[in-house]
Amino acid sequence: MNAGLERRLEQAVERFEELERLLAQPDAASDSRKFAEQSREYSELQGIVETWNALQSLDSRAAEARSLARESDPEIRAMAEDELAEIEAQRPKLDRRLQTLILPRDPNDERNLFLEIRAGTGGQEAALFTGDLLRMYTRFAESHGWKLEILSGQPGEVGGWREVIARVVGKGAYSKLKFESGTHRVQRVPETESQGRIHTSACTVAILPEVDEVDEVKVDSNDLRIDTYRSSGAGGQHVNTTDSAIRITHLPTGIVVECQDERSQHKNKARALSLLSARLLEAERSRQQSAQAADRKLQVGSGDRSERIRTYNFPQGRVTDHRIGVTLYDLDNILAGQLEGLIDPLVEAHQADLLAELA
């Protein structure tokens, strides 16, 4: 374990013991909000401490087994060697678990998220592929027991979407999907292509964490223009019946958000304000990260064919993630929402980067 991880481990153990004392005090629950925060932090640190204790227990067993391995009795030596072999098999797993647990946590990991998919270059084919990506993420969400609800969208002329904005609700949703932001490129033969030529199109995906409270982002009501209109098209459950849909324009930045999913104008306004807050947070985060080359892979890009984080090649049945050099010949299952083969290596690569920084 490198020095950076050792320091974080020491801090985690000290904080855990401090929280244990604080939560045991008779008046600990008098401030319900503070008690909830401390309990949540205690629960997060508990896994670190338990894993560390398990490693220390393994070290004690290993020391005892090495001592027994020096005995003259061959049966005792054989038992000790078996014990050492078992310990050696267990330790790497615990080491990896401990390293993962003590890495710096993304405070947004457990949040819900907003998913935005927009057709880039490629015309109608790009719009069709936007529909494919929406289905892919919908099925991935369903497989995790999450809820995906479409907030607004602009359908394509022959199917799919020119753009679509959805909300994904579920514990840990952002932690799983946050690396999906970027340009997704598709290579396939369109149905309208008579000569069988492969066309390349692109879509951009943006994953934005949902903020808990609208006032987490300072939004001056004087900076907002709020328009109401009648719901229409996909995403409106009560189409052309009430002026419940909301469009909010943030005048200083020009950011426009819409929501027409709910019948209630009040609910649509609240959802639109939440989306606006997420967009403003993301804009600020992008400004801060733009100078950091390591974070370039998280930026969406322009939607041009040449800018891509991932390519979906239909003729070859393969998907390639260009950031980590992973290619899977499993296109159908991936488009059916089985994304673990792509997401897990991305998470591991990110954790490796964090470990390198701590070193």
CATH number for position 36? 1.20.58
88 vs 299: which has the higher pLDDT: 88
> Tell me, what CATH number does 353's domain have?
3.30.70.1660
Nearest to 85 by CA among 72, 71, 66: 66
- Are 176 and 320 in a shared domain? yes
Q: 85 and 27, same structural domain?
A: yes
- On whether both 138 and 51 belong to a single domain, the answer is no
| Residue that is last in its domain, among 75, 102, 129 | 102
**C-alpha torsion sign, points 22, 28, 33, 36:** positive
Residue carrying the six token digits 């609800």: 149
Question: Percent of the chain at pLDDT above 70?
Answer: 86
Tell me, yes or no, whether 128 and 45 share the same domain. Answer: no
DSSP one-letter string for 41-87: HHHHHHHHHHHHHHHHHHHHHHHHHHHHTTSS-HHHHHHHHHHHHHH
Owning domain of residue 202: 105-359
**Same domain, yes or no: 55 and 132:** no
Q: Is the pLDDT of residue 72 over 90?
A: no
pLDDT of residue 60: 92
Phi-psi label, residue 155: left if phi above 0, alpha if psi -120 to 50, beta otherwise: beta
For residue 157, the 8-state DSSP code is: B
Radius of gyration of the chain (CA): 26
pLDDT at 181: 93
Task: Tell me the mean pLDDT in the region 82-91.
Answer: 91
What pLDDT was estimated at residue 234?
47
Whether 155 and 8 share a structural domain: no
Where b means 16+ CB within 10 Å and e means fewer, 230-254 reads: ebeeebbeeeeeeebbbbbbbeeee
Domain count of the chain? 2
pLDDT at 294: 42
Compute CA 79 distance to the chain's CA centroid, rounded to the nearest angstrom: 46
Enter the DSSP assignment of 265.
H
Among 59, 81, 102, identify where a domain stops. 102
The one-letter amino acid code at 96 reads R
pLDDT at 297: 41
Chosen domain end from 73, 102, 131: 102
Residue 222 confidence class, pLDDT cut points 50, 70, 90:
confident
Q: Do 115 and 80 belong together in one domain?
A: no
Convert the pLDDT of each residue in 243-301 to its tens digit.
Answer: 778 999 999 888 998 888 767 788 888 888 888 888 888 877 776 555 433 433 444 45
**190 & 93 share domain:** no
Residue 188: the pLDDT is 94
Q: What is the pLDDT of residues 105-124, one digit of tens each?
A: 888 888 899 999 999 988 89
Alpha carbon distances (Å) from 319 to 128, 131, 204, 314: 17, 17, 16, 9
Q: Are residues 348 and 208 in the same domain?
A: yes
SS3 per residue for 197-215: CCEEEEEEEEEEECCCCHH
CB–CB of 175/109 below 8 Å?
yes
Residues 274, 249 share a domain: yes
Q: Are residues 323 and 356 both part of a single domain?
A: yes
The pLDDT of residue 289 is 57
User: Are residues 153 and 200 part of one domain?
Assistant: yes
**What average pLDDT does range 146-160 have in this prediction?**
92
Residue 307 has pLDDT above 80, yes or no: no
> Which range (83-92, 142-151, 229-238, 279-288) has the least confidence?
229-238
